[in-house]
Homo-oligomer: A and B are copies of this chain.
Amino acid sequence: MRPSGRNVSEMRPISIETGVTRHAEGSCLIKCGDTHVLCTATIDERVPPFLKNSGLGWVTAEYGMLPRATHTRMRREAKNGQSGRTQEIQRLIGRSLRAGIDRVALGERQIVVDCDVIQADGGTRCASITGGWVALKLAIAKLMKAGLITSDPMMENVAAVSCGIYAGQTVVDLDYAEDSEAGTDGNFVMTGSGKLIELQASAEGATFSRQQFNELLDLAEAGVAELVAAQNAAVA
């Protein structure tokens, strides 16, 4: 039995509200149950130095958490610098979003996607990827509407869900109560057509079998399909 009463393959309610901030070129507030992430996309006409004169675009991401997004207040990262965990997460978000983009079509410009967790209840990196894609899509739509881009660089939806082994059962979309107890948990980033972008599965003080991993992947495929539907509804 899951703490939330959900069955093993049941996702939390998904809500994606777009256009939530006045300044960003694209933005949304994604809610996966009690995990709320504000995603904004900023268009920067300059690319990083390693892409100067390459004709290729770039998408990068930054991730943060408000100090009281969590049950217990966390120290503000601006006081000590970004932790290794934060850097690992934001590299994952950036890598994932780039997999859905045609960087030639984007042209030599950069889009910075900021994912700031307003409230956390597990799965913040996955929600950031799913919401980040929406913000990115909206910013690019603006570029296309302005005629700055002619061929759509958005090749496919990109979305992510966590799955894990909780109380011996493989379950989808872990909330914090599950995540903190799970022996094995993983993050699965996929495209709208079900191709894989990134898989991470990790056991802490435990191991898992190949059979169990396959079950996690089955759950993730179904979960991502629900997220992709929500993305498409939001940007329609």
Q: Contacts A208-B196, A209-B196, A210-B196 hold; do A21 and B118 have CB atoms under 8 A apart?
A: yes
A198 at the interface (CB under 8 A from B): yes
Q: Interface of chain A, helix or strand or loop or mixed?
A: mixed
CA A137 to CA B205, docked complex, whole Å: 17
Nearest chain B CB to A27 CB, angstrom units: 8
Partner of A207, one of B38, B69, B196: B196
Interface string of A51-70 (1 = CB under 8 A from B): 00000000000101011111
* In the assembled complex, A151 has its CB within 8 A of some CB on chain B: no
A18 interface residue (CB < 8 Å to B): no
Q: Which residue of B lies closest to A40 (CB)?
A: B68
Check if A44 is an interface residue, CB within 8 A of chain B: yes
A217 proximity list for chain B (CB < 8 A): 210
| Interface-facing stretch out of A2-10, A72-80, A224-232 | A72-80
Q: Does A167 contact B (CB under 8 A)?
A: no
The answer to whether A213 touches B201 (Cβ under 8 A) is no
User: Which residues of chain B are near A83, meaning CB under 8 Å?
Assistant: 87
Bound-complex Cα distance A213 to B103 (A):
25
Contact indicator A42/B73 (Cβ below 8 Å) = yes
* Residues in B whose Cβ lies below 8 Å from that of A42: 67-68, 73
CB distance A23 to B78 under 8 Å? Answer: no
Contact in complex: B73, A84 (CB < 8 Å): no
- Contact residues in B for A69 (Cβ distance below 8 Å): 21, 23
Contacts of A62 in B (CB 8 A): 67, 76
A211 CB to nearest B CB, Å: 10
Q: How distant is the Cα of A211 from the Cα of B69 in the complex, in angstroms?
A: 39
Known contacts A73-B42, A205-B103: does B68 contact A24 (CB below 8 Å)? yes
In the bound assembly, the distance between CA atoms of A205 and B196 in angstroms comes to: 12
Q: How far in angstroms is the closest Cβ of chain B from A122?
A: 13
**Could you give, for residues 193-236 of chain A, a 1 whenever the CB lies within 8 Å of some chain B CB and a 0 otherwise?**
00111111111111111100100010000000000000000000
